[in-house]
Amino acid sequence: MTDAYIFDHVRSPRGKGKSDGSLHQVTPVELLTQVLESLRDRNELDTSRIDDVIMGVVHNQGEQASNPARTAAINAGYAEEAAGKQLNRFCASGLEAVNSAAAQVMSGMSDLCIGGGLESMSRVPMDTVGGALAVDPQVAYGGYFVPQGISADLIASKYGFTREDVDAFAVESQKRASHARDEGYFDNSIVPIKDNLGDILLDHDECIRTGTTVEDLAKLKPSFVQMGEFGFNSVAIQRYPEVEKINHVHHAGNSSVIVDGASAVLVGTKEVGEELGLTPRAKIVGFASTGTEPTIMLTGPAPSAEKVLKRCGMSKDNIDLFELNEAFAVVVLLYMQQMDIDHEQINVNGGAIAMGHPLGATGGMVLGTLIDEMERRDLNTGLVNLCIGGGMGTSTIVERA
């Protein structure tokens, strides 16, 4: 099997995913276009050598429908040989895209690919996208569907995480993200997004709330109370009858921020790198996805981590640094408990609670953040992980090249 290497990665800054967000005026394809342009330009890439541009997009409709991967590549002026495809593994789409790129390379069927993702949540809002999961009565009723917020609160209720626990975690995420941004840890990877006159619209993650305290968060009302009362709490308890009641602990301050963003990771063989003058930064050791119980939905990360570790003949003690997307605070708290790892080993530069979770794009972003930090700390191995709607987890292990 051929080894797959990561030569570089870039991402957009994360803009507030509402109509007053700095990236709202940028079309999704343009957002991805600028990220792809940057990846090409800073590596002086001969794009005719790119076999595939694989992009994760969760809400593949409207402007984000019809394969924006290929559309953006062409829009960015890539060679027409660079094919493109769009995939959807919900919140892990961006990482899945990188894994797919790696798989094509490892199988020997591709030399050089780009994986990553895109989501303009301000322009294609979450609640406008249907699909059978929540809407089709046979599927939703038969599958005990509940929205993610209820799943997160269910985890807290079942495993006994309190409001104080999740708020404290959120405060730490803000603190770490502020520090990392101020110290310039993200600078090398962020592509400033410009308007058509060339003026910069945004060059940093705009949602970080520096100085957030536990007291600030204590004032926020839980977000999913009403939703629960509609019937979703009952559904959750029907699936988890050992839970007496759902304790609603999550709110806007300890859940991931809704943002716009795009990411791109360049993956290829050692040989193509040598040929094109690219220096490998990391090697993809292995990756895995797995399914878990769909109602509680967000408990997939640890099983997927165990799966990839086992497949690679490793244990969690072989991993120097972890990244797990902070969809909700409780997801990471449970993961740390199940994996028996300390907060000092995971999300050391904060996460989506502070910076945001542009669904399809996030996987590529957190992978990049992990590699940057491994380099900064001079560590050797890292594991990146996301929880996923519908009850799944996706993991990737990388090591320094």
Partner 1 sequence: MSKTMNMNVDQDGIAVIEIDVQDRPMNVITADFADDFKNCVEEITKDEKIIGAVLTSAKNDFMAGADLKSMLPSLIGLGDASAMAERIIESHKLNRAMETCGKPFVAAINGTALGGGLEITLSCHYRIAADRNDAVLGLPEVMVGLLPGGGGTQRLPRIIGIQAALELMTQGKHLKPQKALAMGIVNELAPPDELLSKAKQWIIDGGKATQPWDTKGFKVPGGFDPNTKGTIQMFSVVNAMVAKNTNHNYPAPIAIVSSVYEGCQVPIDTGLEIEAKYFVGLLCDPVSGNMIRSLFNNKQSADKLRARPKGVDKHTVKTLGMLGAGMMGAGITLVSAQAGMKVYLLDSTQENAEKGKAYSEKYFQKSVALKKMTEEKKAAIMDNIIATTDYNDLKDCDLIIEAVFENREIKADVTQKTEAVIGEDIIFASNTSTLPISGLAESSSRPHNFIGMHFFSPVEKMPLVEMIMGEQSSDEALAKSLDYIQQIKKTPIVVNDSRGFFTSRVFSTSCNEANEMMREGVNPALIENAARHAGYPVGPFAVQDETTIDLSVKIHNQTKEDMGDDYKPMSSIEVMQKMYELGRLGKRFGKGFYEYPEGGKKFLWPGLSDIYPVNEQQPDIQEIKDRMMSVQALDAYRCLEENVLTSPDDGDIGSIFGWGFPPWTGGVFSYIDMVGLQNFVDRCDDYCDRFGERFKVPDSLRERAKNKEKFYS
Question: Does 134 participate in binding partner 1 (rule CB under 8 A)?
Answer: yes
Binding mask 145-184 for partner 1 (x = CB under 8 A): xxx-------------------------------------
Task: Give the footprint of partner 1 on residues 224-263 (CB under 8 A).
Answer: 230-232, 234-235, 237-238, 241-245
Reply yes or no on whether 91 is catalytic: yes
Interface pick for partner 1 out of 20, 44, 127, 199 (rule CB under 8 A) = 127
Minimal distance in Å, beta carbon 135 to partner 1? 5
- Whether 250 is catalytic is no
Catalytic residue (one of 9, 59, 91, 248) = 91
Binding mask 46-75 for partner 1 (x = CB under 8 A): ---------------x--------------
Is residue 136 a contact residue for partner 1 (CB under 8 A)? yes
Q: What are phi and psi of 79, to 5 degrees?
A: -60, 150
- Cβ atoms 314, 399 nearer than 8 A: no
128 touches partner 1 by CB under 8 A: yes
366 in contact with partner 1 (CB under 8 A): no
357 is catalytic: yes
219 binds partner 1, rule: CB under 8 A: no
Using CB under 8 A, count the residues that bind partner 1.
Answer: 28
Binding site for partner 1 (CB under 8 A): 61, 127-130, 134-138, 140-141, 144-147, 230-232, 234-235, 237-238, 241-245
- By annotation, the residues acting in catalysis are 91, 357, 387
